Amino acid sequence: MTKDDDFADPVEMEKMLYSLSGAQETALEALLCGQTITRAAEAAGVARQTVSGWLNHDFTFIAAYNRRRALLSDEITNRLRALAVKAFDAIEQELEGERRLDAAKTILRAVVSLTVEPGPALPAEVEAKRRSDERATMFSSMGLM
């Protein structure tokens, strides 16, 4: 084991643990880059319904999507934190200026964007949450919740 092995790329480690097809990997990357389901399907060479099915019913795909979104979110959050002091200094100055409403909106958007929680990161967790949500919906429809 080399020193580099201690810091292996989490995405590469995930690929070794959870097997997604090439088409699924392509679609997943497209979705994580902000593409629509339709565009992700085109990139992967599959039907839009296929990608939609993966996102709604394939627990391994859902878990991989959630894990990678969490990694991406962590990376973005770290970069935002690195810029936060300078950005907030500039916005704080704007709060005293003519554009104070725009500055206040910018601050509020930043706060809201940091409160998004990722979904389950393991296929079994995805399945358990789905079953729990289905039971809650069923009980709610029966007036039991």
- Residue-level pLDDT at 58: 93
- Residue-level pLDDT at 87: 77
Average pLDDT per block of 10 residues along the chain, 145 residues long: 54 72 96 96 98 95 91 85 78 77 76 73 89 88 78
Spatial distance between the Cα atoms of 107 and 135, rounded to a whole number of angstroms: 38
- Residue-level pLDDT at 11: 67
Q: List, in sequence order, the alpha helices (H) in 3-58.
A: 10-17, 22-32, 37-44, 48-57
Among 115, 31, 111, 22, residue whose Cα is nearest residue 66: 31
- Residue-level pLDDT at 1: 41
- Residue-level pLDDT at 78: 85
142: buried, middle or exposed (CB in 10 Å: 19+, 13-18, 0-12)? exposed
Q: What pTM value is reported for the model?
A: 0.58
Spatial distance between the Cα atoms of 139 and 58, rounded to a whole number of angstroms: 25
- Helix, strand, coil in percent for the chain, rounding step 5: 75, 0, 25
What is the Cα 51 distance to its own chain's centre? 16
Spatial distance between the Cα atoms of 30 and 80, rounded to a whole number of angstroms: 23
- 68-107 pLDDT, tens per residue? 998 888 888 888 778 877 877 877 787 777 777 787 777 7
- Residue-level pLDDT at 110: 75
Instruction: Provide the residue ranges of all domains of the chain, joining segments of one domain with +.
Output: 1-57, 69-145
- Residue-level pLDDT at 27: 97
- Residue-level pLDDT at 89: 80
Torsion 120-125-130-132 (CA) sign: negative
Number of Cβ within a 10 Å radius of residue 11: 15
Torsion 14-16-19-22 (CA) sign: positive
